[in-house]
Amino acid sequence: MNEQQQIRQEIYGLLAHLYRVAPDQNVIDWLSGIKVEGDDSHEMSKAWSVISDAAKNSEQEALEDEYQNLFIGVGRGEVMPFGSWHMAGALMEKPLVALRQDLMQLGFERAEEVKEPEDHISALCEVMAMLIESGDAEVLQQRFFNRHIQPWFVSLCDQITQAEHANFYKSVVSLTLAFFSVEQTRFAKNPNEIEITEVQ
């Protein structure tokens, strides 16, 4: 895996973690210490700066409350992090069936302890991270991203941005939009070499 692929894999892993659980103190400290390399006009550079600043002004207890309100709630949270809901208007719809077929072909299956559907945004990011880490052909990454992430990530980000309790997670949206836009360009029919801003 070359350096750019490793960076992509790590960003997918970070997003998967942030959408899976509220960041703990170790993650807050790591995000707070990010030093951005590159031009500040670059969207990825801006996004890293935004999420780093947000982390510096965050407390773990408040982040746990925010995550609970956004993604869990009483009955349901303010945000629906499932692809079927955004693409088909309801959970457990055709997009989930198509996803399960693709996951089966790729050799992935849901762990027994995981109760939520496979189209949770964090699970999709985990799959992309594993595809990159295992060195799978970019055409497989392209197909998975274009079928299961690209159609709805903007809708998800809009929902988070508009949520009453969104605070820190608006900075997660900034990183999500910037990175997925880079990936969208990468996976266009004639992708050019795309620069991803590295952080230290």
Q: Name the nearest CA neighbour of 54 among 23, 80, 79, 81.
A: 23
Q: Show the tokens assigned to 166.
A: 């969104």
The span from the CA of 177 to the CA of 153, in Å, is 8
SS3 assignment, position 21: coil
Tens digit of each residue's pLDDT (9 = 90 or more) over 38-57: 665 589 999 999 999 999 99
For all residues of the chain together, what is the average pLDDT? 89
pTM, 2 dp: 0.90
Tens digit of each residue's pLDDT (9 = 90 or more) over 84-143: 999 998 887 899 999 999 999 988 877 666 678 899 999 999 999 999 998 767 889 999
Q: Provide the pLDDT confidence category of residue 191 given band limits of 50, 70 and 90.
A: very low
Locus of tokens 């998975």? 144
